[in-house]
Amino acid sequence: MSSRFMPASRKKAKARVALAGPSGSGKTLTGLKLLYTLTGAQTVADGIERIAFVDTERDSADKYAVNPELPGVGDMTPEEAGGYGFSKISPVRYDPRQLVELIDEAALAGFTGFMLDSASHYWFGPGGILELVDLFARNHGGRSMDGWKDVRPIERAYIEALMSFPGHVVVCLRSKQKYEITEGSDGKKQVSKLGMQPDQRDGLEYEFDLVGDLDQDHYLRVTKSRCVALSDQVIHKPDAELGHQLLDWLDNGEPPKDLDWPKALAACASREDLSVLWQRAQRLGKTQKLRDAFNARGAEIAA
């Protein structure tokens, strides 16, 4: 009896990293260090060419940048220049549909690293997921569940855009310490720390290969890792070494195969599914070749 199951094999991959922490914990700097290592950037000019940065934190990333127009700065390493090179955009509204456009733009421009600092704004900020839920709920007479029904495909599309970016991805998340009041053995009330609570929907961490919490003392506690060597690590002021460990793990495998596009198209059951797949094709520069197949599948779904 034939089977559709095939032997699994390890494939080379790109990093998917989430860094959570309060303001001042070092998320931005850690993310830049990681992307410099992961993309192989050596100089300020390399970083500008390879790293696309979406800054939602009132241009706070500029504190880690240098002026590349100064003589000789482009050829310097970050250590020599006293800062990093990267290409940045600072949106003022946080509609996740616009974030998908930025991710696509970065992919088409050939950036090999993408940093979002922070994704929390696309959750609670102006135009973000929670605001969209309220907007769609009003269109349904105030029914919150109907609002979520309309917004879930939008949320899935932006997560799919991040995960299918053809390069390394680092996402920062705002977080705050979560506490619980409990009763001790002596009957007295006491406050217990429960850990960091990111400002983002529950379960987002499942999408990433590496998830870590940074605290005010700049300790990174790895809370999830598909790379066994990094599981449960506690690292003070993480630097390029973390990137090298991650890169060694990512490069251990066969080159990835192209997506089976006919099968992926056949699996699309709605216009929303087709739109998400089209965005993936855009990122990979395959829309011209696949346009007729997408149009044909769209007509089938409409019928």
Summarised one tens digit per residue, pLDDT across range 189-209 is: 776 555 567 778 788 888 999
β-strand partners of 173: 20
| CA dist., res. 193 & res. 8, Å (int) | 41
CA angle, 21 as apex, 20 and 24 as ends, to 5°? 140
> Residue 3 burial (CB < 10 Å; 0-12/13-18/19+)?
exposed
For the chain, the C-alpha Rg in angstroms (whole number) is 21
Asked if residues 151 and 132 have their Cβ atoms less than 8 Å apart, the reply is yes
Residue 192: per-residue pLDDT: 59
Nearest partner of 65 among 49, 37, 86, judged by Cα: 86
CA angle centred on 159, ends 133 and 16, rounded to 5°: 145
Over residues 122-178, the pLDDT tens digits come to 999 999 999 999 999 988 777 778 889 999 999 998 998 999 899 999 999 998 766
| Residues 6 or more apart in contact with residue 111 via CB below 8 angstroms | 49, 50, 51, 52, 87, 167
By the 8 A CB rule, do 223 and 209 touch?
no
The per-residue pLDDT for range 162-182, each reduced to its tens digit, is 998 999 999 999 987 666 677
Kindly list the distances between the CA atom of residue 245 and the CA atoms of 27, 68, 70, 221, 250, in Å, as whole numbers in the listed order.
Answer: 18, 29, 33, 15, 9
The whole-number pLDDT of residue 196 equals 64
Cα–Cα distance, 138 to 133 (Å, whole number): 9
Q: In 3-state terms, what secondary structure has residue 19?
A: strand
pTM of the prediction? 0.81
List beta partners, residue 213.
Answer: 20, 221
Per-residue pLDDT tens digits for 207-249: 999 999 998 889 999 999 999 999 999 999 999 999 999 999 9
Q: What is the DSSP string of 69-110?
A: TSTTGGGS-HHHHTSB--EEE--SS--HHHHHHHHHHHHHTT
Q: 199 near 174, Cβ under 8 Å? A: yes
Instruction: Provide the token pair at 128.
Output: 């973000």
- Give mean pLDDT, residues 72-85: 96
Segments in 42-187 forming alpha helices (H): 44-50, 78-81, 96-108, 121-124, 129-139, 144-163
Is the separation of the CB atoms in 53 and 87 below 8 Å?
yes
- Residue predicted with more confidence, 192 or 108: 108
What confidence tens digit (pLDDT) does each residue in 6-42 have?
Answer: 888 788 889 999 999 988 899 999 999 999 999 999 9
DSSP reduced 3-state for 116: strand
